Amino acid sequence: MVSKHPDRESALLEPSTGIATPKTKALTTSGLTGKGLAFQLAVCSSILFVCIAIASVFGSTPVHLQDILNRNSTGHEVFFVLRLPRAFMAALAGGSLALAGVLFQALLRDSLATPYTLGVSSGASLGAVVAICLGWNTLAGFSAVPAFSLVGAGLVLLAISRVASRGGMSSQSLLLAGITMNSICGAVIIFLQSITSFTQSLGITRWLMGELDAPEYGILAELAVILIPACLIAWWFGRAWNLLAIGDDWANARGVPARKFLIVGFLIGSVVTAAVTAYTGPIGFVGLIVPHALRLKFGADHRVLIPCSFLLGGAFLVLSDLVSRVLLAPTEIPVGVITALVGGPVFIWMLYSRETHRGS
């Protein structure tokens, strides 16, 4: 049913919940100024840059500037071979997961939706577990775990699309298909883990916690070629996500084909989630906490939320990875543990603050 407020062309979601309500104050297309967006992007970009710099310099042993500039020093190698590419990987992964969270929350109109809600990451995890169980390190010159992970994600993506299309490719059918695939893949993972050796089971457990490593710059470039264009496309269609977040009828009445953009958003979010999960494992809470926090600060206009979520989601994961490296140095904690320990209490605080605000 189309809302009775025809003047709200770009009606937004309620900042605190991500759910559209008749009381929500809307922005028109002209409500977003170029200067305002440029300032917000500059601030978020600066935060990400500072976080990458800090994470690249500090660790179990700090790296000094003179060591970085000296090509023959150990510090130079640590900075450029280990820490800087790892910080870039964290920035790409965190930004992509936060962006996928924004998309899925808009498409499903569910404030608790995450990049892992629709099941593609479960397929990626199952593929990685199969590779670990087989004991394969390489496959046709490629690392076996990411390769199997991408194959698993692709198969699950096809399965979800096929099942959801039978239900008219609605947000509800996508959600139900995703939850079902999550359950199936999770059951298979548990079964495989129960019949493997202790060493393989430990490797599976650690991978499923989510962890970052220092990748080669070539791998970073390959990921960037996939992730950055997908994120730019998502940003380009920001107004469409605003309308879809209100409802399908509302979007259709304003020239945005809801079914078409539901498919586009599902594919974008799934592709970036699968690509990240293939190399890092499932890292939770980034796609949930960052979008919610930014809605409280910037409102729920996806033309602002998407780029800011990408930048600050990257900053959040970069700092989380730094904590995972230094907290029990030289032992590294899986970064997924840190995001959960930080994200869980923050999310509870946000829910508490929202309910307190509503009750006042």
Q: What whole-number percentage of the chain has pLDDT above 70? A: 86
Residue 272 lies in a domain: yes
Residue 188 lies in a domain: yes
Q: Residue 72 and residue 213: Cα distance in Å, rounded?
A: 23
Interior angle at CA 176, CA 155 and CA 281, nearest 5: 50
Tokens representing residue 336 in the block? 């997924």
User: Of 18-22, 45-49, 180-184, 193-197, which has the strongest mean pLDDT?
Assistant: 45-49
Q: Is residue 88 part of a domain?
A: yes
**Structurally, how many domains does the chain consist of?**
1
Q: Is residue 102 part of a domain?
A: yes
Q: In a 10 Å sphere around its CB, with 0-12 CB exposed, 13-18 middle and 19+ buried, how is residue 304 labelled?
A: buried
% pLDDT > 90, the chain: 25
Confidence class of residue 359 from pLDDT cuts 50, 70 and 90?
low
Inside any domain, residue 7: no
Q: Report the pLDDT averaged over residues 14-39.
A: 51
Burial pattern 246-280, b for ≥16 Cβ within 10 A else e, equals bbbebbeebebebeebbbbbbebbbbbbbbbbbbb
The enclosing domain of 344 has a CATH number of 1.10.3470.10
> Average pLDDT of 208-236?
90
Phi, psi (rounded to 5 degrees) for 331:
-75, 135
Mean pLDDT of the chain: 82
Encoded tokens for 334: 């899986």
- Find the mean pLDDT for residues 303-308: 92
| Least confidently predicted of 55-64, 105-114, 316-325 | 105-114
Q: What is the 3-state secondary structure (H, E, C) of the chain?
A: CCCCCCCCCCCCCCCCCCCCCCCCCCCCHHHCCHHHHHHHHHHHHHHHHHHHHHHHHCCCCCCCHHHHHCCCCHHHHHHHHHHHHHHHHHHHHHHHHHHHHHHHHHHHCCCCCCCCCCCHHHHHHHHHHHHHHHCCCEECCEEHHHHHHHHHHHHHHHHHHHHHHHCCCCHHHHHHHHHHHHHHHHHHHHHHHHHCCHHHHHHHHHHHHCCCCCCCHHHHHHHHHHHHHHHHHHHHCHHHHHHHHHCHHHHHHCCCCHHHHHHHHHHHHHHHHHHHHHHHCCCCCHHHHHHHHHHHHHCCCHHHHHHHHHHHHHHHHHHHHHHHHHCECCECCCHHHHHHHHHHHHHHHHHHHHHHHHHC
Give pLDDT, residue 26.
39
Q: Which residues pair with 176 in a beta bridge?
A: none
**Residue 23 maps to a domain:** no
Task: Calculate the CA dihedral of residues 335, 149, 203, 186 and round it to 10 degrees.
Answer: 90
Backbone Cα Rg of the chain: 21
Q: Is 19 part of any domain? A: no
Task: Report residue 10's pLDDT band, with 50, 70 and 90 as the boundaries.
Answer: very low
Q: Per the domain annotation, does 40 fall within a domain?
A: yes
Greatest mean pLDDT among 174-178, 188-192, 289-293, 347-351 = 188-192
Dihedral Cα 309, 313, 315, 319, nearest 10 deg = 160
118-134 pLDDT, tens digit each: 788 888 889 889 988 88
Quote the pLDDT of residue 198. 87
8 — alpha (psi -120 to 50), left (phi > 0) or beta? beta
Least confident of 199-203, 206-210, 252-256, 344-348: 344-348
Confidence at residue 114, expressed as pLDDT on a 0 to 100 scale: 82
Residue 170 half-sphere exposure toward CB, CA atoms < 13 A: 8
CA 53 to chain centre: 22
Domain with 193, as residue range(s), is 32-359
**pLDDT 10s digits, 317-358:** 999 999 999 988 788 898 988 998 887 787 787 677 766 666
Return the higher-pLDDT residue of 64 and 323: 323
